[in-house]
A and B are shown apart, each in its own frame.
Chain A
């Protein structure tokens, strides 16, 4: 029992991390129909910038939580500027190009950011100081620490905030209008370029948050940390229904739990034929299964092909 609960907690933590990153993918996709493969790298830049800020602030004797908040603030600003620049440089000129073109520039941007980060921060892994409260608590014999709780809360709050933003605010209405038909939205007085840029800025701020929390959870940061994370988060977004904000979180949490339970029980279930190294296979098997029956993901709506 306590092993099962612990695996659920492991899965929820991992899943909330995926969810936070998946939100960024899904927002951009929802508006532009573009898969922003550089998003994982923005997460990485967020983590490394925040780490640099932590190191600078370490001497100031401020309370650790305040340092974490300031570090996150700086990382968010850098990432927002970065997100804006990426959109301006790599995507906007290709707005009317065939869909494959921005996909390729996205991969290009991702590689450029990785290599720049390698030049800037070096190849080594960096230890991330424990600034957030990390005391462990026991639930039904399983352990959960405060960083994990913060991650879960952050994912939930980010989702609620985004849904509110998109569904209730004026900006959200402009976003939905742009997503539906940019040309018509423009006729109604919506500045589509501004809306898209804002979407990237908001997505990048979320990436910074994810970067800070991921590095806090694992205690390390590295210039390649964004790549695999981005890939998994993208998978989560597809699983939940890409373009759907609630779906990104659902997909993320599901993927995390499937991975944890897969690693934990697949060996026993198959009598040792498959070991824990098959956890990814297991996760992708579920993904394929879902997509066969629901091609647009768990919460994705059937939308007619965009004009």
Chain B
């Protein structure tokens, strides 16, 4: 009986304690003229948190969350008030329909700014909603060139677009990999089809011949039929425009069918999971990723350590970009002195921020200036850097600690900014 009372009173005390602890200072609406109250800024983040790409979506959200934690811990004063970021993470399931629903929800929630979406397919339709509502959108990962081509003043990205990436991939395939005949597979998404088109253009222009074009979707696991068809055309290289859940079984099934062509992929297949899941079939395959390798980013090593400490998992893809996307917004808020969407929007084009990934500045369309693309090969269970093309001249020079096999085919051919 006695112990019971003790337990009861103890738990009551704990509850009280917990209550008093979690009681926040009265939340003031952003921009309300309450002196000394923290300036609360709502940041919407949208990515697939369920479904086949959930691991990449969560990775992106983790990146944004790290930035939010850092900013909140730094006690930044904006207009005499402490800046407090709130991350509202939503699941758009990589589905364009769900993407627009999430976008509308952000508008209704009156978020100050949106980071995302992760996929090009969701970013494009959502960008219309944000443009109409005047909410700035900074995507850390949508690479489809269309995103910034509509002339929306609200659309920004801190990631190299597929025009640049596809071009580098196509020239790399026909150039350094010396592929004469090429088969192209895409997953029919905005991203997959988009990068495949850019790749085909550049590869054909560089003298390679596209001998087969096949399509799959972003839920498939069985590629035996299309690979068998491709096998009959005996291509030197197979390009896959899609994400790692498809890329890994694709490369394994290539092995099973005895296809000896090289597999080349864009950033969607350039993940740690691709190598983990494809195992031996990953060896010797190539991929590209916008930007420079995480380890060689200006703030890379520190970011890797921070990410590892908090989430105890390897970085999949976009986490550092999501971190920078949040930071770019924070810089804009600092310069503007308040966090209204319009104020952020006015300041974003003037961005000049030394981020984790690179030095970030936007061109007139909202694309990142001086975009770099890095090519990798899977070797000994890891992605090993082959080459970095474009970007700030200083970055690749500093990064060339390991021997680069040969000079880049034509670094000048890739315009620094689009």
Contact = CB atoms under 8 A, between A and B. Distances in A.
Does B bind A? yes
Interface of A: 3, 6-7, 10-11, 13-14, 118, 122-127, 136, 143, 145, 218-220, 222, 224-225, 228, 259-264, 267, 275-277, 279
Nearest to A14: B222
Contact of A264 (B51, B229, B277): B229
Given A10-B225, A13-B224, A123 B252 contact: no
B51 to A, nearest CB: 6
B256 A218 contact: no
Given A123-B54, A125-B248, A127-B276, A220 B229 contact: no
B188 to A, nearest CB: 6
B226 interface: yes
Contacts of A267: 229
A291 B242 CA distance: 35
Given A124-B54, A125-B244, 8 more contacts: A118-B50, A118-B54, A123-B54, A123-B58, A125-B245, A143-B257, A218-B253, A219-B277
B185 to A, nearest CB: 9
Contacts of A14: 222, 224
Interface string B179-192: 00000000010000
B96 interface: no
B55 interface: yes
A174 to B, nearest CB: 38
A136 B258 contact: yes
Given A6-B257, A264-B229, A220 B221 contact: yes
Nearest to A147: B256
Interface in B140-193: 188
A275 B51 CA distance: 26
A125 B55 CA distance: 8
B188 A6 contact: no
B228 interface: yes
B252 A124 contact: no
A235 to B, nearest CB: 15
Contacts of A264: 225-226, 228-229
B219 A263 contact: no
Interface string B214-257: 11110101101110110110000000000011001100110011
B52 interface: yes
B387 interface: no
Contacts of B188: 277
B276 A228 contact: no
Contacts of A6: 228, 231, 257
A276 B215 contact: yes
Given A6-B257, A136-B258, A222 B52 contact: yes
A263 B229 contact: yes
Contacts of A136: 256, 258
B245 to A, nearest CB: 6
B225 A7 contact: yes
B273 interface: yes
